[in-house]
Chain A
Amino acid sequence: MSKALIELIKKNFGAAVLETHSLYGDDTVVVEAAAWREVARFLRDTPQVSMDMLTDFTAVDFPEREPRFEIVAHFYSLTKGHRLRLKTRTGDSEGEDAVVDSLCEFWASANWMEREVFDMFGVVFKNHPDLRRILMYPEFEGHPLRKDYPADKIQPLIAYRDVPNIEKIAPFSVDEGMAFGRQTHARNDDDSQVN
């Protein structure tokens, strides 16, 4: 079933398809990084493919290869019930120049998963609306899931951050926030003296 998909992609993007294989019932197409976005759009918008779900998105680091990173996306079509794994390769042996187009405009789930790949591998996604680290903190040095990142590496201590507009951060002062919820119903001192 998905073999037909491979043929369809080959027919439409013949020059950009680097490799295809089908193993254990999973079908994979490897395309050039330049065609990444167009192939993804084709997968989503072609009626007989209609991949409406991007179920997984990750990367694999092969330090001895050039290009070094393999970006892996798993697609599933709820209407057609078929799956496809789409891969591309990017980045030189130092891990620099790893740039791929973002798929955020096609699938909302790409947003966080691309942030994770950026965080863990240092792959940059072009036109991503909000590309920042998602799991590690902004001051973290390096990309932990690269194979050359030592597992026992100790990160430097970081200074306290400057927080802009700190007086807007909770706990709020009495007169801020929701006036009604913060009504204290203070006892009138004159009343208590009468009693």
Chain B
Amino acid sequence: MEPLDQELDEAELEMPTEPMLLNVGPAHPAMHGTVRCVMELSGEIIEHVDVQVGYLHRGFEKMCERGTWTQVFPYVDRCNYVSPMLNNVGFALACEKMLGVTVPERCQWYRMILGELARMSDHLTCDGAMAMELGAFTPFLWMIKAREMIWDLLEEETGARLTHSFGRVGGMASPPTENLKDNARAVTTHILTVVDEVEKLLLGNRIFLDRLEGIGVISQVDAVSLGWTGPCLRATGIPYDVRKASPYLKYAEVEFDVPVGSASDCFDRFMVRLAEMRQSARIIEQCLERMADKGPVNVDDPRVILPPKEEVYNSI
């Protein structure tokens, strides 16, 4: 074997002075989805990047123009396949706002439970993939296993593991199953253990910290000007959460904190997501306690939503 400390001529080590042009994507093993980045690198620093996002454009708006509102649900699912329930509920809420309809309380709690579970699955994916990208494969597998438990639950509720198409304008496609409360409690308990384990595994890891701390720092002013929201904005230290700022469903009635970061680097974004999973578990617990076991889920208005099938066949 050749020696590792082979003597190198100084001249050979000299960096090229002109920046290197590097094309990443549109299809690249390290890319989640198809996006092309034309980068200008100077050493390991990206000096300029032109991001070309059109490769995944599928023309949802044009397709939605041709359908009814209910036919749009499968499309909003596909905007983010990891947490389609949040998109479903968001779209349903927008339509209901225009129609002036409010869904029954049981449905609101149900939507919150499913939504927070979807949020957890999203954060598990983000944080897990972040660790995997840095070479830590174990936490990724643990988190994906936990995510699979959420998806099993959602499959039991909705019939589909990934793209549920479960929301409806004025309710949900079907009422909660009998096992929802037990299942949700079991899943959240397991996820909280996974979050603790991942924290123990990663936060003592020098390599992991070195690669996240102080990387990708963005100022508060820039983040706001770019219109950032969600965990990335909160990692800059701005406590803006739409669930607190303009509460929808029953978010005004549940207790939860808004975790924020301070350094607004990659590490803070990682930590904000971990903390938000704990808050989601808190919200789910409160929702499960307050959701009624019986009662209507859909609004009682045939102009908005199809009546239940039994009624259609027997009494209408």
**How many chain A residues touch B (Cβ–Cβ < 8 Å)?**
35
**How many chain B residues touch A (Cβ–Cβ < 8 Å)?**
34
Can you name the residue of chain A whose Cβ is closest to the Cβ of B59? A144
| A52 contacts B57, C-beta separation under 8 Å | no
| B23 contacts A170, C-beta separation under 8 Å | yes
The stretch of A7-15, A27-35, A85-93, A133-141 that contacts the partner chain: A133-141
> Scoring A residues 166 to 185 as 1 if CB is less than 8 Å from chain B, else 0, what string do you get?
00111010001111100101
Known: A52-B225, A107-B225. A179 touches B21 (CB 8 A): no
With a CB–CB cut-off of 8 A, which chain A residues contact B15?
A: 178-179
| B227 contacts A54, C-beta separation under 8 Å | yes
Can you name the residue of chain A whose Cβ is closest to the Cβ of B6? A185
Q: Is residue B62 contacting chain A, with contact meaning CB distance below 8 A? A: yes
| B62 contacts A151, C-beta separation under 8 Å | yes
| A178 contacts B43, C-beta separation under 8 Å | yes
Q: Is residue B316 contacting chain A, with contact meaning CB distance below 8 A? A: no
Can you name the residue of chain B whose Cβ is closest to the Cβ of A185? B2
With a CB–CB cut-off of 8 A, which chain A residues contact B22?
A: 170
Per a CB cutoff under 8 Å, which of B20, B21, B54, B245 touches A137?
Answer: B54
With a CB–CB cut-off of 8 A, which chain A residues contact B65?
A: 147, 151
A52→B100 CA distance, assembly (Å): 30
A88→B229 CA distance, assembly (Å): 26
| B8 contacts A183, C-beta separation under 8 Å | yes
Per a CB cutoff under 8 Å, which of A107, A108, A151 touches B66?
Answer: A151
With a CB–CB cut-off of 8 A, which chain B residues contact A147?
A: 65
| A78 contacts B240, C-beta separation under 8 Å | yes
Known: A179-B13, A179-B15, A185-B6. A134 touches B53 (CB 8 A): yes
Q: Is residue B289 contacting chain A, with contact meaning CB distance below 8 A? A: no
| A107 contacts B53, C-beta separation under 8 Å | no
Q: Is residue B226 contacting chain A, with contact meaning CB distance below 8 A? A: yes
> Scoring A residues 89 to 125 as 1 if CB is less than 8 Å from chain B, else 0, what string do you get?
0000000000000000001110000000000100000
What's the A-B contact tally at a CB cutoff of 8 Å?
73
Q: Majority SS of interface residues in chain A?
A: loop
With a CB–CB cut-off of 8 A, which chain B residues contact A135?
A: 53-54, 57
Scan residues 50-108 of chain A and give those whose CB is less than 8 A from a CB of chain B: 52-55, 78, 81, 107-108
With a CB–CB cut-off of 8 A, which chain B residues contact A145?
A: 61-62
Write the nearest CB–CB distance from B46 to chain A, whole angstroms.
14
Can you name the residue of chain B whose Cβ is closest to the Cβ of A106? B225
With a CB–CB cut-off of 8 A, which chain B residues contact A151?
A: 62-63, 65-66
Q: Is residue A187 contacting chain B, with contact meaning CB distance below 8 A? A: yes
Write the nearest CB–CB distance from B34 to chain A, whole angstroms.
12
A125→B70 CA distance, assembly (Å): 35
Q: Is residue A24 contacting chain B, with contact meaning CB distance below 8 A? A: yes
Known: A178-B43, A179-B13. A55 touches B227 (CB 8 A): yes
With a CB–CB cut-off of 8 A, which chain B residues contact A144?
A: 59, 62
With a CB–CB cut-off of 8 A, which chain A residues contact B20?
A: 172, 176-178
Can you name the residue of chain B whose Cβ is closest to the Cβ of A83? B246
With a CB–CB cut-off of 8 A, which chain B residues contact A165?
A: 21
| A53 contacts B227, C-beta separation under 8 Å | yes
A52→B66 CA distance, assembly (Å): 35
Scan residues 20-54 of chain B and give those whose CB is less than 8 A from a CB of chain A: 20-23, 43, 53-54
Write the nearest CB–CB distance from A40 to chain B, whole angstroms.
13
User: What are the nearest 7 A-B pairs in CB distance?
Assistant: A109-B227, A135-B54, A135-B57, A108-B225, A108-B226, A185-B2, A168-B21
Please give 15 more A-B residue pairs, beta carbons under 8 A apart, in addition to A108-B227, A179-B12.
A53-B225, A78-B238, A78-B240, A107-B227, A135-B53, A137-B54, A145-B61, A176-B20, A177-B16, A178-B16, A178-B20, A178-B43, A180-B8, A185-B6, A187-B2
**A–B pairs, 5, beta carbons within 8 Å:** A108-B225, A147-B65, A151-B66, A178-B16, A179-B15
Residues of B within 8 A of A (CB): 2, 6, 8, 12-16, 20-23, 43, 53-54, 57, 59, 61-63, 65-66, 97-98, 100, 222, 224-227, 229, 238, 240, 245
